[in-house]
A and B are shown apart, each in its own frame.
Chain A
Amino acid sequence: MKKYIDQGKNDTRSGFGAGLTELGRTNPNVVALCADLIGSLKMDQFIEENPERFFQIGIAEANMMCIAAGLTIGGKIPFTGTFANFSTGRVYDQIRQSIAYSGKNVKICASHAGVTLGEDGATHQILEDIGLMKMLPGMVVINPCDYNQTKAATIAIADYDGPVYLRFGRPKVANFTPADQKFEIGKAVHLTEGTDVTIVATGHLVWEALIAAENLESQGISAEVINIHTIKPLDANAIINSVKKTGCIVTAEEHNVLGGLGESVARVLATSQPTPQEFIGTNDTFGESGTPAQLMEKYGLDNKAIEKAVIKVIERK
């Protein structure tokens, strides 16, 4: 099985910040907006280099989303930055009418998604954002797995004309994808070849899936790990072709199992290739305060949970 090496833990939000900085240097139409969370979103460098292209909106996310929609009229490519909770649930109607329905080229960049923001607790730990965003017609939903991929995704979405939801997180996690990767929206990335089970993971859980696959290998189980960084549009062919070989699948995400990646995968398989599936995700619950590692364990989001789900799904074949 192909092995991946952690090049040094880093946070995906810093990948966003680095990507935005690069866009500031290469694309004069890129502008950035923030609702009083510059430091948390790592937008400082972009602002320092492009003060005239940055808009501090204050604590007013609804205003920010619609100002972003307005900025597209005149050819700007706005990147909004705030926490995932305030990027989605708080401003759903603004996104729905002024961005999605209006087809505006706004990039909604959302940090601190999921339980791994940790100690701040459930008010800030949105686990419903993928569902909210994927239901909006025309919205692209991306959840990259590490620093390098988040940076690459940030740069790539500037070249795509249309609304995008880019989801990333707070904690420092393994950085294992190539620094020079080309990010293709909607294209799954095969990380390992396997024959017994397909593990489809997104975001922080991709690394957990790789650890699980390594542990499973020592038990004689061959897992094919696929990184689905784009939840919508979903790379259905990659998933179907893999389960034709393995015959079962585990989906893994830091999100409610209701409305997340797992359900999108289940729909594809139910209509094209019915396959036993197990879901790793939070089970219709809010989060709570704690360290990221404690929360990942308590809510069944770590590599051990994935391993158990694999063993269960193989028995169902």
Chain B
Amino acid sequence: MPRLEELQDLTTQVRRDILRMVHKVNSGHPGGSLGCAEFFVALYNELMELNEGFDMDGKGEDLFFLSNGHISPVYYSVLARSGYFPVDELNTFRLINSRLQGHPTTHEGLPGIRIASGSLGQGMSVAIGAALAKKLNKDSNLVYSLHGDGELQEGQNWEAMMYASANKVDNLISTIDLNGQQIDGSTDTVLAMGSIKGKFEAFGWDVLDIKEGNNLEAVIAGLKKAKTMTGKGKPVCVLLHTVMGNGVDFMMHTHAWHGKAPNDEQLEIALAQNPETLGDY
């Protein structure tokens, strides 16, 4: 089977994992998770240089930080299916005594996670710190991070953006999930941010658009392009244009499924649109 087709199958399976995880506990955030399935699959399978196993320091490998921690379902699914922990453990999402907390954490020792996130706006600073440590360690690997677009309303991001360009943190690729939705509505109605691209550029970042953020081929190509932009004295921003709820027709193009789980009937319809590929957990 061609590589792209394999990864398409993986993406579909990840979407099934997301839907089944949030349905089981009747909570969690399917919308943003579904919209970022292609990004996570591309990142962990085609972009990141990763060591065998997991250790916190991550020397000699690429690192990833999820700032918008509420899309933990997609993160957990891709980590499990990349071998960081047993796929069966996805069954424990949000249950008591689980390593798969509602929002990602290092506290329970889940392999693959290097910082807690959930309270928004902190991940870019963390990623900068890790990127600075890599430079001190003369480690040429990269640091990736992902942020929601609504999350940019948190002021700390702008402190981080200012710092990263002023200090030439050019081993960092921060991706913004540009789905235009947040809990209370569209980002334009909640707090219009104008041109996010213009703002990043004004803050001294190199910016790359991935217009088709739910086209796996386009995401892989875009991220590979972003990788070539590192090491040139500027931090790199990827604007990933996605559709919240992608892959499930009734969840798409609305903020309604940001933090709401499907009921039994809705799950059945959603899964029918994403037939099993690699096997359910």
Contact = CB atoms under 8 A, between A and B. Distances in A.
B134 A62 contact: no
A73 B56 contact: yes
A74 B156 contact: no
B126 A67 contact: yes
Interface in A72-103: 72-76, 78, 93-94, 96-98, 101-103
B118 interface: yes
B280 interface: no
B13 interface: no
Contact of A101 (B63, B116, B137, B166): B116
A31 B163 contact: no
Contacts of A68: 129
Contact of A94 (B56, B122, B134): B122
Contacts of A75: 57, 59, 133, 137
B107 A67 contact: no
Given A97-B116, A103-B107, A71 B122 contact: no
Interface in B230-252: none
B119 A74 contact: no
Contacts of B133: 70-76
Nearest to B163: A63
A63 B156 contact: yes
Contact of A55 (B115, B118, B132, B137): B132
Contacts of A98: 115-116, 122, 125-126
Contacts of B56: 73
A53 B136 contact: yes
A175 B127 CA distance: 41
B159 interface: yes
A9 B155 CA distance: 42
Interface in A8-42: 31
Interface string B154-174: 011001101100110000000
A74 B105 CA distance: 18
Interface size class of A (residues with CB under 8 A): 20 to 34
Nearest to A28: B136
A74 B57 contact: yes
A13 to B, nearest CB: 24
Contacts of B166: 58
Given A70-B130, A71-B132, A74-B57, A97 B162 contact: no
A71 B134 CA distance: 9
A268 interface: no
B106 A103 contact: yes
B102 interface: no
A90 to B, nearest CB: 11
B259 interface: no
A98 B155 CA distance: 16
Interface residues of B, number: 39
B111 interface: no
Contacts of B131: 70
A21 to B, nearest CB: 19
Nearest to A104: B115
Interface SS, A side: helix
A67 B125 contact: yes
Given A70-B125, A70-B126, A103-B107, A63 B159 contact: yes
B125 A62 contact: yes
A57 interface: yes
A52 B167 CA distance: 12
Interface in B118-158: 118-119, 121-123, 125-134, 136-137, 139, 155-156
B160 A63 contact: yes
Nearest to B134: A74
A63 B139 CA distance: 23
B148 to A, nearest CB: 16
A66 interface: yes
Nearest to B154: A62
A60 interface: yes
Nearest to B126: A70
B29 interface: no
B206 to A, nearest CB: 20
B258 interface: no
Contact of A102 (B58, B105, B127): B105
A69 B163 CA distance: 15
Interface of A: 31, 52-53, 55, 57-58, 60, 62-76, 78, 93-94, 96-98, 101-104
25 contacts: A53-B136, A55-B132, A58-B159, A60-B162, A60-B163, A62-B122, A63-B125, A64-B125, A65-B125, A66-B123, A66-B126, A66-B129, A67-B132, A68-B129, A70-B128, A71-B130, A71-B132, A72-B133, A73-B57, A74-B136, A75-B57, A76-B133, A94-B122, A98-B116, A103-B107
Closest 6 CB pairs of A and B: A70-B129, A74-B133, A66-B125, A60-B159, A63-B159, A67-B129
Given A63-B159, A64-B125, A70-B130, 7 more contacts: A58-B163, A60-B159, A62-B122, A70-B131, A72-B133, A74-B134, A98-B122
